[in-house]
Amino acid sequence: MSFDTSAFWQSEFAEHAVCFEATQKKLAPAFAALLDAAAKTIENGGKILFFGNGGSAADAQHLATELTVRYKKDRAPIAAIALTTDTSALSAIGNDFGFEFLFSRQVEALGRKGDLAIGISTSGNSANVIKALESCRAIGITTVGFTGETGGKMPPLCDILLNVPCKTTARIQEMHIMLGQMLCGGLEMKLGMVPVETAQKLAV
């Protein structure tokens, strides 16, 4: 059986479009709540923590970098940390305590009441993400979940849940990075770091 590249191309875009439209319809209130919570965190001197595994780890460090460096244009840095980048900490925690403690140990060391944590897991069942969210709750950190359709084990641990209404991991990840970049752009404007009109012009 030969591979039909054209059919594959069309089916991937079609599935993405369905997921995109469902996300747009469902998650606007949750995104608004996230943006408000993130702005409040930064205005009160807190920081945003990101964590996840694999592709979600890449999203975590991508989004933390957008905030600490810049998104639309030069402006003051926004405090954010990806708990996925310190190889010494990750390997020591994994070796000494176990993989499920990878992020919770760092949350306990670096997190403070009033911070905001974004745990990213397409299934919602990643043990180390769940344990980190539990640690956040114990400290008084606002918890946010980026996950998939059911949310797995994340819903009861999240103050704000953005569960992409899709079953395909790749499509969920595509929506996660879009939502994350929307957070970066929206936060710049909401904090008054980038004028709304400037951001709109740059987006065109």
Which DSSP helix (H) or strand (E) runs through 147? strand 142-147
* 109 Cβ neighbours under 8 A, 6+ residues apart: none
Q: So what's the pLDDT on residue 201?
A: 65
Nearest Cα neighbor of 59 from 186, 189, 199, 182 is 182
Q: So what's the pLDDT on residue 26?
A: 98
* 204 Cβ neighbours under 8 A, 6+ residues apart: none
119 C-beta neighbours (distance < 10 Å), count: 30
Residue 54 lies in a domain: yes
SS3 187: helix
Q: How far apart are CA 82 and CA 179, in angstroms?
A: 17
Residue 115 lies in a domain: yes
Residue 127 lies in a domain: yes
The CATH number of the domain holding residue 92 is 3.40.50.10490
The burial of 42, by beta-carbon neighbours within 10 Å (0-12 exposed, 13-18 middle, 19 or more buried), is given as buried
Q: 190 and 72 in contact (C-beta within 8 Å)?
A: no
Residue 85 lies in a domain: yes
Token representation of residue 199: 């951001």
Q: How far apart are CA 103 and CA 99, in angstroms?
A: 9
Residue 30 lies in a domain: no
Structural domain range at position 148: 36-180
Token representation of residue 174: 């595509």
Which DSSP helix (H) or strand (E) runs through 161? strand 160-163
Residue 137 lies in a domain: yes
Residue 5 lies in a domain: no
> pTM for this structure?
0.94
- Tens of pLDDT along the chain (204 residues) come to 799 999 999 999 999 999 999 999 999 999 999 999 999 999 999 999 999 999 999 999 999 999 999 998 899 999 999 999 999 999 999 999 999 999 999 999 999 999 999 999 999 999 999 999 999 999 999 999 999 999 999 999 999 999 999 999 999 999 999 999 999 999 999 999 998 866 566 655
Q: How far apart are CA 83 and CA 184, in angstroms?
A: 18
| Alpha helices (runs of H) in 77-126, residue ranges in sequence order | 87-96, 104-110
Residue 187 lies in a domain: no
When divided into structural domains, the chain yields a total of: 1
